[in-house]
Structure 1
Amino acid sequence: MRLATFNVENMFDRAKALNSQDWGEGKPALEAHKELNTLFEKDVYSAADKKRMLKLMEDNGLLKTDEGPLLILRKIRGQLIKRPRVGDAEIVAAGRKSWIGWIELKTEPVNEKATLNTARVLRTIKADVQAVIESEDRTTLRLFNQQVLTEVGAQPFKHVMLVDGNDDRGIDVGLMTRDDYPIVGIRSHVDDEDAKGLIFSRDCAEYEVSLPDGGRLWVMVNHFKSKGYGLQAANDAKRKRQAQRVRDLYDEHIADGDLYVVVIGDLNEIPANAPMNPLLRSGSTLKDVFDHPDFDVGGRPGTHGNCTAAGRLDYILLSPALFAKVKKGAVERRGMWGGVNGTLWPHFAEVTSADEAASDHAGLWVELDI
């Protein structure tokens, strides 16, 4: 059985704030999106809250219109802001009960060639069980499976599942499997909380997959908190909480006698850093496929960006019984661009520029003797 993960970075539409070559260009809009929606949820808007709302809206082109370059103000009922022809705009809503609405991220179509190259990565990997990171929703994933994979000569998957998570930017985690590997159970953890509140930025989606011999494989698909915006200390703490919860769930599976368990996806952290301690150290029995002697890292240590050591963000972590079944595996970078001029590694002939790359992430696959 071949098991794989790939951060597809959306298939058809992607938030414009996430779609720039320079992460810094979209970062202020992403931060404003989060802060404004948090402010909107307050029961009562103070003078300071209203002043801050106006400043963020002005900075993002929303002071005179509901649609800015990267953000959209959605209003369903009531009035948030008054925009007179003469004079200054003002927040007229008294609090959350005064109106219904929110800030959305403006989206744009993904480069068509990039979408086709995403399909070529999956065609090349040829997984039986394929985790996907940053897919918009199940409908999109299903259409991609049925239409785009076929267009590049790949065999569509039989089973396609995605549970919407906590991120409203359209970056969810899902699973696609072949005929012989049906999905027979799903557990979502979007509501999991600890003493500090909600744990998962997206989800830790658990999929129970039936194996041809009657056994079960538990696939825990994850996309941890990004490093891209917010305070580093807060981001690190969030990822460590997420890692600890995944570790607890993994330990429960092992205690229940489940032998075949995998933690898979984009964990947004390098192995040596403290947020990974619950999964890679602290008594964990999970094994990193990168440490297997028959896993080919392709001459570079990372999986994201230029694939340096600092870009090791994607993982396949296996329970001991699964790790013992590894036959071979590899990093698939040919859908990536690779450096300013695309010269850091070979890529598909169809990837002729950075805009046509399937993703900033490599795919990972491992073949298991099960």
Structure 2
Amino acid sequence: MKIATFNIQNLFHRDRTLLEKPYGKCVTDWINELDELMRGNSRASNNAERIQELVFLLGFDKTFDVPYAVMRKRAGFVFLKGMDYSKEMKSCELTDWNGWIALRTTPIDPKAVQNKARAIADVNPDILLLQEIEDRASLEEFNALLLPEYDCEPFQEVTVVQGSDKRGQEMGVLLKDGYRIKSVRTHPFDIDNSLNPKKEFFQYEIETTSNQTIWLLAAHLQEETSDKEMTDAYRKIQAEQIANVYHQLFKSGHENIIIAGTLNSVSYSDSLSPLLRETDLKDVTKHKSFNVDFDEGSDADYFRLGAYRLGVNIKQKDYLLLSPNLFTNVKDCGLNRKGILPKKRPIWKVYPTMHSKKQAASEHPAVWTKINI
């Protein structure tokens, strides 16, 4: 059985809040301008319009969190919002058109989409866990149309359980013929007793071709923010809750358990200690059979703090953690990072079709392992 996890960072479209902002140098000027306008006594309409623009540019206005295109008011009366919003003035023949539409997502470069398919085809697992996909329809289209172009047989079963994150960060599990999902369970992260949690993790019961059952816990933990202390605290609570489910499964007599996904921190981080140091789970990248193309030049003999291992000097955020029974039966393992474009150093082999960052498959590698089961 070959299983892989890959944070694909969306298939065809990506939420603009997840993209790097191209106007970082302007932020200070915008903040200063907004402060001056807010302190001023003038109530001129052009000032109000400019305040609206600055509020939007600085990200204070979160209307784009609703999963629809949004038409907003600009000085005139044209305004169209989602069904969650109160009634607004509509356009009429007495007003000039002065509205605009803010699209929530941006299209991904076709070359990048092809490289995503190429990265999956090169690994070609029996069980594939994908993070950050838009929806089931996009995944089915990608599976049926893109993968065959790279001599990869489409997966027979495609499962997407929609989470509570509204930014197109769903998880999908794809299975080859002979494997099937017997059950799926959602575990909401209980961070602050909120009735509307921001994230959750998923528990899959999967039957293999040899009629064995494996338990897959798929997780995408809190990403880094400017408030590192809060971020680490949230992530540690999430890790503790996943570890609790792992212990419950193990105590129930289940020995074939996998925890996979983007944990968003390095292995020495205290926020991941509930999983990496307070359980008997094993990281496949630490297995003696771990196989990957090493960094080029002198970096091949260097082990950067937080990297996957010697000669693989990219910061580890993605994990395949195995229960002891599965780890002892690992036949082979590795990662595919040919779809990641190096920034400077270290340098490694990449796909020849990648010439810029926007053509990269992802900023994450595909981590995989083969297990005798």
- For the aligned pair, the TM-score class normalised by the smaller chain equals 0.7 to 0.9
Are 2:80 and 2:90, in contact at CA under 8 Å, matched by a contact in 1?
no
Normalising to structure 2: TM-score of the pair? 0.76
Identify unmatched segments of 5+ residues in structure 2. 29-50, 64-70, 95-101, 296-303
Once the 2 structures are TM-superposed, how far is the Cα of residue 290 of structure 1 from its aligned partner? 1.6
SS in 1 for 2:272: helix
The aligned counterpart of 1:225 is 222
Q: Deviations over 1:286-333 (max 9, x none)?
A: 111121111125436647xx9746x21000000000101111111111
- 1:24 CA displacement: 6.0
Shift of 1:199: 9.4
Partner of 2:8: 8
- Please state how far the C-alpha of 1:22 moved relative to its aligned partner: 6.6
Q: Is 2:277 aligned against 1:270?
A: no
Structure 1 residue 361 and structure 2 residue 364: aligned? yes
The reply to whether residue 314 of structure 1 matches residue 318 of structure 2 is yes
Say if 2:331 and 2:370, in contact at 8 Å, map to a contact too: yes
Residues 290, 297 of structure 1: 8 Å contact kept: no
154 and 230 in structure 1: CA distance in 2 versus 1, 3 angstrom threshold: same
Mapped to 2, the partners of 1:347 and 1:254 lie a distance apart of: 40
SS of equivalent to 1:337: coil
Residue 203 of structure 1 corresponds to 200
Q: 1:349 aligns with which of 349, 352, 373?
A: 352
* Shift in alpha-carbon separation, 1:7–1:58, aligned structure 2, 3 A: closer
Aligned position for 2:156 = 158
Whole-Å separation in 2 of the counterparts to 1:256 and 1:23: 53
Identify if the C-alpha distance between structure 1 residues 364 and 55 changes in structure 2 by more than 3 Å, giving closer, same or farther.
same
Aligned AA for 2:105?
T
Question: Which residue is 1:291 aligned to?
Answer: 286
Partner of 2:187: helix, strand, or coil? coil
Q: Does the 8 Å contact 2:294/2:312 carry over to 1?
A: no
| 347 and 122 in structure 1: CA distance in 2 versus 1, 3 angstrom threshold | same
Structure 2 counterpart SS, 1:162: strand
| 1:42 matched residue in structure 2 | none
**Whole-Å separation in 1 of the counterparts to 2:201 and 2:26:** 26
Residues 356 and 307 of structure 1, relative CA distance in 2, 3 Å threshold: farther
Amino acid at match of 2:337: R
Quickly say closer, same or farther: Cα 1:73–1:208, change in 2 above 3 A: farther
2:170 maps to a residue whose letter is D
Of the three residues 50, 63, 78, the one matched with 2:86 is 78
Q: RMSD of aligned C-alpha atoms?
A: 3.5
SS state at 2:334 partner: strand
Match of 2:55 in 1: 56
TM-score (norm 1): 0.77
User: 1:219 touches 1:262 (CA, 8 Å); kept in 2?
Assistant: yes
- Equivalent residue in structure 1 for 2:111, among 110, 113, 122: 113
Q: How much identity, in percent, do the aligned residues show?
A: 29
Aligned length: 319
Whether the 8 Å CA contact 1:16–1:26 is kept in 2: the answer is no
Tell me the distance in 1 between the aligned counterparts of 2:141 and 2:130.
14
- Counterpart in 2 of 1:100? none
Deviation of 1:80 (Å): 6.5
1:332 equivalent in alignment to 2:332: no
For 1:44, the equivalent position in structure 2 comes to none
Structure 1 or 2, whichever has the larger Rg, is 2
2:143 aligned partner: 145
CA contact (8 A) 2:13 2:108 kept: yes
Whether the 8 Å contact between 2:6 and 2:131 is mirrored in structure 1 is: yes
DSSP 3-state at the match of 1:235: helix
| 2:36 counterpart residue number | none
Structure 1 unmatched ranges of 5 or more = 29-51, 86-103
Q: What's the secondary structure of 1:74's corresponding residue?
A: coil
